[in-house]
Structure 1
Amino acid sequence: MQYRRILPMVIACTLAGCSGRPAAVVPQFDPAGMAEQALAAYDADGDGRLAGAELDASPAIKKHLARYDADSDGAVSEQELQDRFAQWEEEGVGFRRLDVRVTIDGRPLSGATVTFEPEAFMTDWVKPATATTDRSGMAKISVAPEDLPAALKDRASGLRGVCVGAYRVKVTHPSDKLPPAYPAGDALGAETSRDAMGPLEEIQLSSHG
């Protein structure tokens, strides 16, 4: 469809502020290498797949299991991991805007620091992204200015966004005591690919963990 062909360019234009020719941000992944690293990190029993408690070690994969588990057997093989990472490349969008809304027990959590930390198997191209929530619990997640993709560094001042990839999501607060799994990044995961997440992500916390 024509819509699918032009969408990456529209996103790139939006990110670059539509100043002149839009800068394309192509994701830099190694699907085969990433799949191998994911198994090396999380395949505790060495059976060549991630299943059961092993998925707890990777909140991003666990949250989006249906997008990885093509044969619906409840486990993720090396080939399924590789295929999913290859889909990110095929989308052709490597950088995007992302807002989050953080609530705890249904109430907005202001003053919380939200950090998207790349999973261990991501390539070095994917950088951490962070922001602090306002009174309404909203925050614009972004990499640091020095970590912007090279194609965007000279295109727009104050640009915000995240790299496409898989992340652990850490939430900390200077005064409110949160259950330990939130600051540690053990409870929340996210995949910032276009088909897994919209422009607004709801992060719902519970004071009981």
Structure 2
Amino acid sequence: MRVLPTNLLVCVSLTLAGCSGGPDLSPVATRSYDSESMAKAAIQQFDKNTNGTLELAELDSCPGLKATFTHIDTNNDNKLTAEELKARFEGYRTAGAVGYTLRVTLDGIPLPDATATLTPESFMNGAISEVTGKTTADGTLSKYSVDGRELPGLPSGVYRVTVTKDGLGLPAKYNTQSTLGCEVSGGGRGGNSGYDVRLTKK
């Protein structure tokens, strides 16, 4: 898995931004993570039974956290505490930008020319930006951009994912009412470098 430290991301961005004809790789993603406030915000947003922790059933509305639940739950007690969330989020700071691939299929067949948008969950508190990209002929996506500026890697964090394709009416659960989500992290417990987005027509 290719991981670009934050300081390297800055150097690469500054070096390439001035190249004529090349992509604008300005360091749009090198923002600070406030892991404590992010953890508190996640608890406040999703703790429906107000017991101060997050259970798996409470995270249906946050598929990114739900997908990585067991990796954050370090003591295996089937709930996430603010301390566990903070520790996980702290890792984003050192992970920097990550080489991350979406593999999009529709009924098991690779879906080309689909637009994927990764929107940070609100508890990320503005630490990272929304990114977009388009799948290639084999249904994969590994190049992302922010406001037209190409990124050399995907910033670590928790994202809501939506998928659309011109001329193809995908179900709302994949876009306007998306139930898709992922965590991008560069290493450690449950570190990952990709997400299989398995869509169906129904």
| TM-score under structure 2 length normalisation | 0.79
Question: Percentage identity across aligned positions?
Answer: 28
Query: Quick one: which of 50, 54, 57 aligns to 1:53?
Result: 57
Find the aligned partners of 1:10 and 1:121 in 2 and give their Cα distance. 21
Q: Distance in 1 between matches of 2:30 and 2:40?
A: 22
Q: CA deviation at 1:117?
A: 0.5
- The answer for the alignment partner of 1:66 in structure 2 is 70
Picking from 74, 81, 85, the partner of 2:89 is 85
Secondary structure of residue in 1 paired with 2:50: coil
- TM-score, structure 1 as length reference: 0.76
User: Any gaps of 5 or more consecutive residues in structure 2?
Assistant: 17-25
Contact 1:119 1:166 survives alignment (8 Å): yes
Cα deviation 1:70-123 (Å, max 9, x = unaligned) = 12122111111112112223xx23223333221111101122110111011003
Partner of 1:3: none
Q: C-alpha root-mean-square deviation of aligned residues, in Å?
A: 3.0
CA 1:15–1:139: 2 relative to 1, 3 Å: farther
Residue identity matched to 2:185? S
Cα deviation, 1:35-80, whole Å, max 9, x if unaligned, reads 1100111111211111143111111110001111112122111111
- Tell me the equivalent position of 1:172: 164
Uncovered stretches (5+) of structure 1, i.e. residues with no partner: 1-6, 149-157
1:207 paired to 2:190: no
Give 1:26 shift: 5.8
Q: Kindly tell me the number of residue pairs found equivalent between the two proteins.
A: 187
Q: How does 1:32-43 map to 2 (within 5 A)?
A: 32-43=36-47
**Paired letter, 1:201:** Y
For 2:177 and 2:152, locate their aligned partners in 1 and report how far apart those are by CA, in whole Å: 22
Q: 1:86 to 1:73 in 2, by over 3 A?
A: same
Given that 1:59 and 1:186 are in contact with CA atoms closer than 8 Å, whether structure 2 keeps it comes out as no
Q: Does 1:76 align with 2:80?
A: yes
Offset of residue 192 of structure 1: 1.1
